[in-house]
């Protein structure tokens, strides 16, 4: 797998983060509280594996450590550090939730830290089926959206809560809406649908119900599959290790220290 100068896109990890800040009209407060009970208080560290398959590329496997932290002002930051394969080892992606616009920084060995342009938001990372925008949707790092709760549906014999998120500014997003399905018994995420303009279903992300583990009292999905219907490809994300609410200093998310970051002692 060849590394390009501007790899675009990233991955998702803990999908329950989707509704951490959704205190919005149109969502039942009891449903929101049920979903939030499976979310961390403020921080997460995860080791993940990303494996892609499809007709456009050979099977690729990436490994990364992800650091996420919600700040006191409600915004959140995330850093992804890639360990394997060898040609991307040491690469880092930093997402900062700021107003009026988010900031995304890329650090690669041998190059200066550079800021990713907003025009790259819909591009994919290293051939994976996750984009910058997918990532921001899944971590609720797009605050300019309207949320609504829709009619319950049955999925694989289980009743689901259905929540939809629609961008306020249609021109700022590749998607017309993103629809999420949460199992009513556990309030754990089961499926996310990404619709492009004209209600065209582009991607489907599903969580394996057999790979849900209780960590620090919350239910954490450990295996996800993102399918790109247009490209006929898929990326499986496996959480190999997770820490819920560990101590993460704010300096981890400092762009000026990004190149030197080597982990938390």
- Examine residue 100 and say whether the peptide bond preceding it is cis (omega within 30 degrees of 0): yes
Judge contact between 77 and 68, C-beta under 8 A: yes
User: Which segment of 137-141, 161-165, 191-195, 203-207 scores lowest on mean pLDDT?
Assistant: 137-141
Collect all residues with Cβ–Cβ distance below 8 Å to 216 and sequence separation of at least 6: 40, 244, 245
Q: Please report whether residue 253 resides in a domain.
A: no
The rounded distance, in Å, linking the Cα atoms of 29 and 1 is 46
Q: What angle do CA 27, 211, 65 make, to 5 degrees?
A: 85
| Greater model confidence, 125 or 28 | 28
Q: Please report whether residue 110 resides in a domain.
A: yes
Q: Please report whether residue 252 resides in a domain.
A: no
Q: Please report whether residue 155 resides in a domain.
A: yes
Over 90: is that where the pLDDT of 125 sits? Answer: no
Helix (H, G, I), strand (E, B) or coil at 55: coil
pLDDT tens-place string over residues 75-94: 788 898 988 878 788 889 89
Over 70: is that where the pLDDT of 68 sits? Answer: yes
Structure tokens at 247: 């101590």
- Examine residue 85 and say whether the peptide bond preceding it is cis (omega within 30 degrees of 0): yes
The rounded distance, in Å, linking the Cα atoms of 105 and 97 is 12
Domain range for 141 is: 15-242
Q: What is the DSSP string of 189-231?
A: EEEEEEEETTTEEEEEEEE-GGGEEEETTEEEE-EEEEEETTT
Average pLDDT, the chain: 79
- For residue 135, give the DSSP letter: H
The rounded distance, in Å, linking the Cα atoms of 100 and 103 is 10
| Greater model confidence, 164 or 145 | 164
Residue 165: give its domain's CATH number. Answer: 2.50.20.10
Give how far Cα 68 sits from Cα of 79, 189, 240, 248, Å.
Answer: 7, 19, 16, 8
Question: pTM for this structure?
Answer: 0.81
pLDDT at 109: 86
Q: Please report whether residue 219 resides in a domain.
A: yes
pLDDT at 118: 61
User: Which segment of 8-22, 68-82, 108-122, 168-182 scores lowest on mean pLDDT?
Assistant: 8-22
pLDDT at 136: 67
Judge contact between 156 and 260, C-beta under 8 A: no
pLDDT tens-place string over residues 36-56: 888 888 888 989 888 877 655
Q: Please report whether residue 76 resides in a domain.
A: yes
The rounded distance, in Å, linking the Cα atoms of 183 and 243 is 23
Q: Please report whether residue 165 resides in a domain.
A: yes
Q: Which residues partner with 52 through β-bridges? A: 60, 235
* Residue whose structure tokens are 């961390």: 40
pLDDT at 42: 85
Q: Is 87 exposed, middle or buried (0-12, 13-18, 19+ CB in 10 A)?
A: exposed
| Greater model confidence, 142 or 186 | 186
Average pLDDT over every residue of 105-119: 82
Q: Please report whether residue 20 resides in a domain.
A: yes
pLDDT at 55: 59
| Greater model confidence, 244 or 58 | 244
Spell out the alpha helix ranges (H) of 119-192.
132-138
pLDDT tens-place string over residues 219-258: 888 999 989 999 898 888 898 998 888 999 999 999 999 9
pLDDT > 90: what percent of the chain?
28
**Number of domain units in the chain:** 1
The rounded distance, in Å, linking the Cα atoms of 48 and 40 is 17
């Amino acid at each position: 797998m060849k590394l390009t100068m501007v790899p675009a896109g990233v991955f998702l990890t803990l999908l329950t983060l989707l509704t951490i800040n959704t205190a919005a009209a149109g969502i039942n407060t009891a449903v929101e509280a049920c979903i939030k009970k499976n979310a961390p208080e403020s921080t997460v560290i995860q080791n993940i594996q990303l494996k892609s398959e499809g007709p456009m590329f050979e099977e690729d496997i990436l490994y990364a450590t992800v650091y996420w932290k919600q700040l006191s002002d409600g915004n959140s930051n995330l850093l992804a550090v890639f360990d394997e394969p060898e040609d991307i080892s040491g690469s880092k992606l930093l997402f900062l939730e700021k107003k009026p616009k988010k900031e995304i920084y890329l650090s690669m060995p041998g190059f200066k830290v550079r800021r990713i342009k907003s025009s790259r938001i819909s591009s994919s990372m290293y051939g994976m089926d996750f984009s910058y925008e997918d990532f921001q949707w899944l971590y609720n790092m797009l605050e300019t959206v309207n949320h609504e709760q829709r009619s319950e549906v049955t999925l694989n014999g289980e009743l689901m809560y259905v929540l939809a998120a629609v961008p306020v500014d249609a021109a700022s997003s590749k998607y017309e809406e993103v629809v999420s399905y949460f199992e009513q018994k556990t309030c754990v995420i089961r499926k996310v649908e990404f619709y492009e303009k004209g209600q065209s279903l582009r991607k489907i992300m599903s969580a394996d119900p057999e790979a849900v583990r209780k960590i620090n009292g919350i239910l954490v999905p450990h295996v996800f599959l993102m399918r790109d219907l247009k490209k006929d490809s898929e990326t499986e994300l496996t959480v190999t290790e997770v820490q819920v609410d560990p101590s993460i200093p704010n300096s981890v998310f400092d762009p000026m220290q990004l190149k030197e970051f080597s982990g938390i002692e």
